[in-house]
């Protein structure tokens, strides 16, 4: 049971480039989330999904897109990367009932 | 979502109990209180959660006041490995996305 897996772990992007951060969970969870964490700050919600085919914006969605075509995968797309998107990105998932959310180990992204 | 207020930092002597307070005065009747911690820049780790009764597990105890407007996380015998940022979170209901909204947390320093 791998839990929540994020790839890549590290990435350096140039301004204007695009990339997709991958997130996969093997727990058959309906709810999945993307957060970003800037240095010394708490996590901020970017996008979330309550099930396959359903996504919604969180607190800081600008500059990002998501899709949820399967229960297992919830990729986060960055278009036209900007230095302000330099951050650590965490993916999380949780089941239907009020149970703990599991987090991935994060993707550290630097935009230069 | 209900907001939480935590002290930004606390110290604790190794082997002593660490008592971390949290205020959540706007919590609704069906919202749970969750506690997570984050060590260095790892993914947040679940500790415990509760609705209105006190809860205990192998990691910690959670004491929720009768009016549910505040709670305390207790680490009974703190070790150096408990040094981390601790987040108190009021979780959104299932029909509102079920997400965890992170504040600034409390940075707990356990000292020898």
B61-108 pLDDT, tens digit per residue, is 999 999 999 999 999 999 999 999 999 999 888 778 888 888 889 999
| pLDDT band at A34; cut points 50, 70, 90 | very high
CA angle A87, A47, A80 (to 5 degrees): 55
A54-111 pLDDT, tens digit per residue, is 999 999 999 999 999 999 999 999 989 999 999 999 999 998 767 889 999 999 999 9
How do A43-51 and B61-64 pair as beta strands?
A: unpaired
A97 Cβ contact partners less than 8 Å away, ≥ 6 residues apart: none
In the predicted model, what is the mean pLDDT of residues A48-52?
94
Residue showing tokens 């020898």: B112
Phi/psi for B94 (5° steps) reads -55, -40
At CB < 8 Å, which residues of chain A contact B?
Answer: 4, 31, 33, 35, 37, 41-45, 48, 50, 56, 58-59, 88, 90, 92, 94, 96, 98, 100-106, 108
SS3 B42: coil
Which one of B34, B87, B99 has the shortest CB-CB distance to A48? B99
DSSP-assigned letter for residue A73: B
| Shortest distance, CA B59 to any CA of chain A (angstroms) | 14
Question: Does A1 have pLDDT greater than 70?
Answer: no
pLDDT at B47: 97
Distance between CA atoms of A57 and B107, rounded to whole angstroms?
Answer: 29
* Distances in whole angstroms, Cα of residue A47 to Cα of each of B84, B102, B111: 26, 14, 38
């Amino acid at each position: 049971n791998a839990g929540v897996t994020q790839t890549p772990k590290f990435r350096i992007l140039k301004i204007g480039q695009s990339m997709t951060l991958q997130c996969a969970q093997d727990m058959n969870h309906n709810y999945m989330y993307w957060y970003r964490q800037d240095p010394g700050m708490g996590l901020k919600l970017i996008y979330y999904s309550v099930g396959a085919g359903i996504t919604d914006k969180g607190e800081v969605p600008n500059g990002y897109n998501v899709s949820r075509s399967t229960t297992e995968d919830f990729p986060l797309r960055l278009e036209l990367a900007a230095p302000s998107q330099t951050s650590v990105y965490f993916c999380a998932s949780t089941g239907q009932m009020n149970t703990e959310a599991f987090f991935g180990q994060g993707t550290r992204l630097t935009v230069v | 979502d209900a907001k939480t207020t935590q002290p930004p930092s606390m110290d604790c002597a190794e082997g002593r109990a660490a008592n971390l307070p949290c205020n959540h005065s706007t919590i609704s009747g069906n919202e749970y209180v969750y506690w997570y911690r984050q060590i260095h820049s790892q993914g947040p780790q679940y500790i415990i959660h509760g609705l209105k009764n006190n809860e205990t597990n192998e990691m910690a105890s959670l004491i929720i006041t009768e009016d549910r407007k505040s709670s305390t996380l207790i680490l009974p015998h703190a070790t150096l490995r408990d040094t981390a940022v601790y987040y108190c979170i009021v979780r959104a209901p299932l029909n509102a996305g079920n997400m965890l909204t992170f504040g600034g947390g409390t940075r707990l320093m356990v000292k020898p």
